[in-house]
Amino acid sequence: MGKLGVGGLTAQIAALALLARAGTSTPLLLAFLLSQGIAAAMIAMVLWRLLPRRFRVPFAWSYGYLFAFCFLVPMAGAIVCLGSLLIARLFPGPRQTAGIGLVGLPVFVTHLISRVTHGGGARLRAQLGNTRAPLPERMTALVAMQSMPARTSSPVLRELLADSADDVRLLAYGMLDGAEKQLTQQIMAELPRLEEALDASERGEINKRLADLHWELIYQNLVQGDVYRYTADQVERYARAALEVDPEQAGLWYMRGRLALNRHEPAQAREWLERAEALGFARERTLPLLAEAAYLERDYAAVRTILLSFDSPSPLPLVRPLLRYWQS
């Protein structure tokens, strides 16, 4: 690098000497430009090597900028660049420590201990997602998923409907179809009873069961698209009919509130969820939904007020980050 610097300085002095003698002589001006280009190329290479590593890339831009500066500002350009590097070396800026922070230890949630399966669900999902695993192992894992709650297994089974293995795809479809048919058969068994009901009280009970059964199809992730919308309409229809007979059923108000949220009707959702809570529905289950409804209405003060009133000693893991954010 020393020889390169001496060569660049020599070429720079020669170029300035040619410029001083050039006057209006075209050959001398061309010789100056050639010498100045050689000097700029050599000096720019020396300066580029002196740059901190993070400023050397991309090479074309960093070296090109130094070359242009040294070429267009003879001698002074190199002096300014060297001075800037010297000042940066003598007075370094404060080191940024962004990206390094303290992370708190996870808190053990005692009320979920009864649901712990020691990673069984995660292992089954990993086995099913590994298309290179032997087919018998994947089939065994798929059959083992029948012991998991339908709400948990349904999304996994739905992903397997596009699996490359026919056996896996057909078994996953059969499991989903079987769960849906089981609920559908119960619905079909209740419909004739609704027509044969003798009084309003009996009709109310049957309407409640029909609303619950249709809600299970949604809750277990067994319906999508147009079928989901139809099922949601049926839940609303039967829940409304049951509430006309007995308006004190908190669970049905809760269902209607959740469906209203899914339809992006936050005002209606808040009204029905507050009604469910007033009738004794679990407060820790309605408050997150009430906060979501207030958020959709852009009533952020209400969101904070609602979540500040959340006093459950062991909130659900998905709710805890929201509480930390809004209660801070």
Contacts of 149 (CB under 8 A, 6+ apart): none
Please give the pLDDT value at position 149: 73
- Asked, as a colleague might, if the bond just before 106 is cis with ω within 30 of 0, I would say no
In a domain, 133, yes or no: no
In a domain, 57, yes or no: yes
Window from 64-78, 81-95, 155-169 with minimum mean pLDDT: 81-95
Window from 192-196, 264-268, 289-293 with minimum mean pLDDT: 192-196
Question: What value does the mean pLDDT take over residues 293-308?
Answer: 87
In a domain, 72, yes or no: yes
Q: Is the pLDDT of residue 298 over 70?
A: yes
Cβ proximity of 78 and 12 under 8 Å: yes
Place of tokens 């099922």: 231
Please give the pLDDT value at position 328: 67
Q: Residue 65 is part of which domain span?
A: 2-87
The alpha carbon of residue 144 and the mean position of all alpha carbons in its chain are separated, in whole angstroms, by 29
Please give the pLDDT value at position 118: 44
Q: How many CA atoms lie within 13 A of 36 on its CB side?
A: 22
Place of tokens 């809570």: 277
In a domain, 301, yes or no: no
Structure tokens at 92: 């370094």
Cα–Cα dist 251/253, whole Å: 5
Place of tokens 């089981």: 182
Task: For residue 182, give the nearest of 220, 228, 140 by alpha carbon.
Answer: 220
In a domain, 79, yes or no: yes
Please give the pLDDT value at position 98: 55
Task: For residue 165, give the nearest of 202, 193, 128, 192 by alpha carbon.
Answer: 128
In a domain, 241, yes or no: no
Q: How many domains does the chain have?
A: 1
Of residues 161 and 262, the one with the higher pLDDT is: 262
pTM of the predicted structure, to 2 decimals: 0.58
Question: What value does the mean pLDDT take over residues 288-312?
Answer: 85
The alpha carbon of residue 82 and the mean position of all alpha carbons in its chain are separated, in whole angstroms, by 46
In a domain, 320, yes or no: no
In a domain, 31, yes or no: yes
Confidence band of 100 (pLDDT split at 50, 70, 90): low
Give CA torsion, residues 295, 213, 209, 186, to 10 deg.
180
